[in-house]
Amino acid sequence: MEALIKNRLPKKSRNQKSLQDRLFDASVYGIAIVMILMIVYPLWFIVIASFSDPADVANGNVWFWPEEWNLDGYIELLKQEMIWRSYFNTIIYTVVGTLIALAVNIPAGYALSRRDLFGRKWISFFYIVPMFVGGGLVPTYLVIKNFGLLDTFWVMVLPFAVSCFNIIIARTFFRTSLPETLWEAAQIDGCGTIRFFFTMVLPLSKAVLAVIGLWTAVDIWNSWFNAMIYLSNENLQPLQLVLRRILIANESLLGVASGSLASELRSLSEMMKYAAIVVSTLPIMCLYPFLQKYFNQGVMIGSIKE
Amino acid sequence: MDHKALSKDFPHNPVILNESKMSRRIKQLKKSGPLYVLLIPSFLLLICFTYLPMYGLVIAFKDYSPVLGILESPWVGFKHFVQYFNSYQFDITIKNTLTISLYSILVGFPLPIALAILCNQLRIGLFKKVFQVTTYLPHFISTMVMCGMILIFLSPSTGLVANILGLVGLNMPNLLSDASLFSSVYVWSDVWQHVGWDSIIYLAALSAINPTYYEAATVDGASKLQKIIHIDLPLLLPTAMILLILRAGSLLNIGFEKVLLLQNQLNLPGSEIISTYVYKIGLQNFQYSLSTAIGLFNTVVNIIILLLVNWLSKKLTKTSLL
């Protein structure tokens, strides 16, 4: 049919059109390639700089490949006990925090998705308000302090485990993908709500568990502000706070020295910056392409409006 | 349903037939019991760590002292609000907050739409996939690392940007010590990091467009560009409006962490925003009441703007959030 239509158009205009479209296509692909380069190159640069001599990096001799390949930055970085400890802390916070968040948010999402929940309107309101209003910094700080949670492991995983946004996403998911007849059938078979939730709902909602779990995990992995205001004990600090000392405060973890040793230490600290970025970001960057499917799904579920 | 089933089994039972509204409600309540159990953990956490702090907002109207506690501290009304409105920091923080925020919307709102349309035009499957994975990637870099990268790359003497400019013989200004350039650094680095991710939602909206529209346009001899202007853009409008409303609702909530990390003494006149000021006043200077008052002011303004934009959008495009 398309051929038929094409034949009916005057020949000249058809050629003009296709030329215009071909130019259009060329510019689309051109822009896309430039964008890919603009994103990939800075990331690649960080990686090659971490393996290069700091003087070459600073003088602009490093462009596409490491110059004077060495691992000094990594070696010095990994010698720091603080890095290992904070890395370990971050992993624990991420695992425990994600599990708590799932245990708290998923059941709430399911309960809110049920149309026979008595007082659903008011309860939904209770869960929507925190998305727009909050107590703010100081009142929250005072509450955490009064609960005696300052400088404890729990402050990192418990108080902010509820995410109303994720609850709403879970609710939308359950509403759109769990057929209501399933619950009706289970009821006839004498299955109660709680048992139904654990034996039917959870196995059927792996997608939303994955999405919310991954989002929460990335959030916790990357977070630092709560740690900064609620933790003063160095042994509890997460990785991002140590990165803050290295990258932002420009603090040398290697101590102070004088003379020629000082400049050597300074350049070593520069290398450690690149190494620290790579070491802290690598896990997410490596996992991400494989998990991309789930992340995207989450955006889709979240975009369904009710 | 329960009720009906019962009355079918016992058609002559007057208790069930004449069941009052009250007892029906009690029955519903009982039936919802297990659902309430599922809600308990999140409910308790919200009460303790979200609603209790909301009660703590009253210290904005009091002279809070930790010794006296929230209830016993003396009531001072709007004193702290007035103090903030009259302070010289008021103009600076409001101006910077609005500048960064509006700049962000101006740049960060249309670009994801453009990117989604661009991505939608890519027909080579593998290339499209690579393009998507790459553009989404920076979204997962932590704010901390992102700010570290900005500091490294923009360093005026040794940074990557300075070295690139050096190739063509240009001098690199120190972007981070210039207050007037702070908003640009903030906004464009944000675009680099999030434009791909923000486009996902538009890409989904584009893939939902009925292909017959494009076929009809082809028959009418429309070029690709014309199809974008007359099909893609109008059909993206509802999605765009919703996102714009949400964005406007958090007009005064800028990525606080990033601003705090990129701040230094030199760019402070251009980088002090309401939320960083709240943090400094509250947790560094321990003026709890003043800090809470400023934060409360911020929240109230946000809600007013959200309702306003929502109302406006309802009138103009028939799209609304609430």
Q: Give CA separation, B199 vs B112, B194, B237, in Å.
A: 4, 9, 14
CA-based nearest residue in chain A for residue B167: A60
Q: Are A161 and A104 in contact (CB under 8 A)?
A: yes
Q: Are A230 and A150 in contact (CB under 8 A)?
A: yes
The mean of the pLDDT values for chain B is 85
pLDDT surpasses 60 at A132: yes
pLDDT surpasses 80 at A255: no
CA B213 from centroid of its chain's CA atoms: 33
Mean pLDDT of A241-267: 78
Chain-chain contact of A60 with B166 (C-beta, under 8 angstroms) = yes
User: pLDDT of B158-215, one tens digit each?
Assistant: 888 888 888 888 888 888 888 899 999 999 999 999 999 889 888 888 888 888 998 9
Mutate to test the interface with A, among B2, B35, B37 (most CBs of A within 10 A): B35
Which is higher by pLDDT, B104 or A21? Answer: B104
Give the minimum alpha-carbon distance from A176 to chain B in angstroms, rounded to a whole number: 17
pLDDT score for B189:
93
User: pLDDT of A208-242, one tens digit each?
Assistant: 888 889 889 988 999 999 999 999 888 999 999 99
Of A21-35, A261-275, B151-165, B198-212, the least confident: A261-275
Q: Between A126, A194, A300, which is nearest B37 by CB?
A: A194
CA-based nearest residue in chain A for residue B39: A108
pLDDT-based confidence at residue B12 (cuts at 50, 70, 90): low
Q: Are A234 and A82 in contact (CB under 8 A)?
A: yes
Mean pLDDT of B122-138: 89
Q: Could you give the percent of chain B with pLDDT greater than 70?
A: 93
* Number of other CB atoms surrounding residue B314 within 10 Å: 15
Q: Which of B184, B111, B185 is nearest to B153 (CA)?
A: B185
Q: Quote the tokens at residue A181.
A: 């007849």
pLDDT-based confidence at residue A275 (cuts at 50, 70, 90): very high
Q: Between A43, A225, A289, which is nearest B257 by CB?
A: A225
Residues 6+ apart with CB under 8 A from B43: A108, A126
Q: Between A134, A167, A222, which is nearest B50 by CB?
A: A134
3-state helix, strand, coil in chain B (%, to 5): 80, 0, 20
- Helix H, strand E, coil C: the string for chain A is CHHHHHHHCCHHHHHHHHHHHHHHHHHHHHHHHHHHHHHHHHHHHHHHHHCCCHHHHHCCCCCCCCCCCCCHHHHHHHHCHHHHHHHHHHHHHHHHHHHHHHHHHHHHHHHHHCCCCCCHHHHHHHHHHHHCCCCCHHHHHHHHHHCCCCCCCHHHCCCCCCCHHHHHHHHHHHHHHCCHHHHHHHHHCCCCHHHHHHHHHHHHCHHHHHHHHHHHHHHHHHCCHHHHHHCCCHHHCCHHHHHHHHHHCCCCCCCCCCCHHHHHHHHHHHHHHHHHHHHHHHHHHHHHHHHHHHHHHHHHHHHCCC
Residue numbers of B between 82 and 121 with CB closer than 8 Å to A: 115, 118-119, 121
Domain extents in chain B? 2-72, 79-317
Q: Between B34, B50, B295, which is nearest A130 by CB?
A: B50
**Taking chain B, what is the end-to-end CA distance rounded to the nearest angstrom?**
31
Q: Give CA separation, A38 vs B5, B103, B135, B193, in Å.
A: 66, 22, 10, 11
pLDDT surpasses 90 at A106: yes
pTM for this model (two decimals): 0.85
pLDDT-based confidence at residue A147 (cuts at 50, 70, 90): very high
pLDDT score for A1:
47
pLDDT-based confidence at residue A258 (cuts at 50, 70, 90): low
Give the minimum alpha-carbon distance from B13 to chain A in angstroms, rounded to a whole number: 23
pLDDT surpasses 90 at B242: no
Beta bridge partners of B75: B62
Please check whether residue B48 touches A, CB under 8 A.
Answer: yes
The architecture of the domain spanning B79-317 is Orthogonal Bundle (1.10)
Chain B residues within 8 A of A87 when measuring between CB atoms: none
Of B20-24, B209-213, B318-322, the least confident: B318-322
pLDDT surpasses 60 at B3: no
| E-only strand ranges, B174-302 | none
Q: Could you give the percent of chain A with pLDDT greater than 90?
A: 31
Compute the distance between CA of residue A148 and CA of residue B210 in angstroms, rounded to an integer: 57
Chain B residues within 8 A of A231 when measuring between CB atoms: none
pLDDT surpasses 90 at A247: no
Q: Are A142 and B288 in contact (CB under 8 A)?
A: yes
Mean pLDDT of B35-54: 92
Chain-chain contact of B283 with A138 (C-beta, under 8 angstroms) = yes
